[in-house]
Amino acid sequence: MLIEENILLSGFTTMQLGGSAKYFTRISSREVLLEALEFAKSKSFPYFILGGGSNTIVSDSGFSGLVIKIESSKIEILSEDSDSGLVTISAEAGVAWDEFVKFSIAQGFSGIECLSGIPGTVGATPIQNVGAYGQEVSETILSLVAVHPNGETKTFFKEECGFSYRNSKFKSGDLKDWIVISVLFQFSAKNPIQIKYPELQKAWESKLSLFSPSGQPKDRVHELQELREIVLSLRRKKSMVIDPIDPDSISAGSFFTNPILNSSQLQNFLERLQRMNLNFPSLFLEPIGRTKISAAWLIENAGFQKGYTVEGIGISKAHSLALVNRGGNTNQLLSLMNRIVSEVESKFGIHLEREPVLLG
């Protein structure tokens, strides 16, 4: 195990902000991970697990402990049932998520094609239950293997993970000390592709007319690849695909989660809108009588428009949920974040939750 010192972390995150890690190491196996954890324990250092850096904001002062960069990269097809078409695939935590999506599509396996273009690694996806365009990663997860800092290794089945909207027990529950090292997925090689998101469905129907005379793609892989390209196109329009020539992609993606309100919170919100004579935003029904509303709508109607910039940090010109780095620093980012949260709460009585993790 190689331990490096005083490594600048900004280059390891999509936000490109922050100071240095006092200690830094890269791991590609469970054994080396345990060695790194033991090193941190022996020195009484805090540690932080870093994947693709797309959901991490590093403080300007950096991190005084050990950053462990997960770089394991094995993908393995474990089983394929020719009758049902169900396939199980194991992927190690360090596999780049979008590479895994491309791999599954190339095999003709459906289940995560709408999650194309999302940065980060496989190991991070169950922690925050990544989702986009009508799919959530938890829909395809069978189980995962995780390591505890005490050295224990355990398999957690889907039902034990506590998956919910952009959340799991590994993010905010009693499993948050466990470190995901691999994930077992189940995909389908036969099931019809389902599109649940209206914007994507509309784009897909337009694309169908360009296929074969029958109005269908020539095979399953082609169909999945075409759907992936539509998803990537939609994400690019919102600067939600990392692109060196797109300054609005220097972000952590969606900076806030969409609030989910109970019935009394929703009633309070609607009454405020009536008093302010504002049009109601789209409302999305959630389980157990709850309602999800658009954080982007709240931000814009609190007075923060796309393209707004102050002190080198701004709101994306393409998507008001993304805060972007235009040459600023982390303190300036947090200042704008706090202003947005305060204004939204003051005007609408709703507290916005930050999605990326703050390190340091």
Q: Which residues are catalytic?
A: 166, 254, 355
What gap in Å lies between CA 94 and CA 121, rounded to an integer? 6
Read off the tokens for 328: 């600023």
**How far apart, in whole angstroms, are the C-alpha atoms of residue 178 and residue 162?**
14
Work out whether strand 290-293 and strand 260-261 pair parallel, antiparallel, or are unpaired.
antiparallel
User: Rounded to an integer, what distance in angstroms lies between the CA atom of residue 243 and that of residue 249?
Assistant: 6
Angle at 112 between CA 107 and CA 117, to 5 degrees: 100
**324, β-bridge pairs:** 251, 314
In angstroms and rounded to an integer, the radius of gyration of the C-alpha atoms of the chain is: 21
**Cα–Cα nearest to 294, from 241, 327, 258:** 258
CB 217 within 8 A of CB 320: no
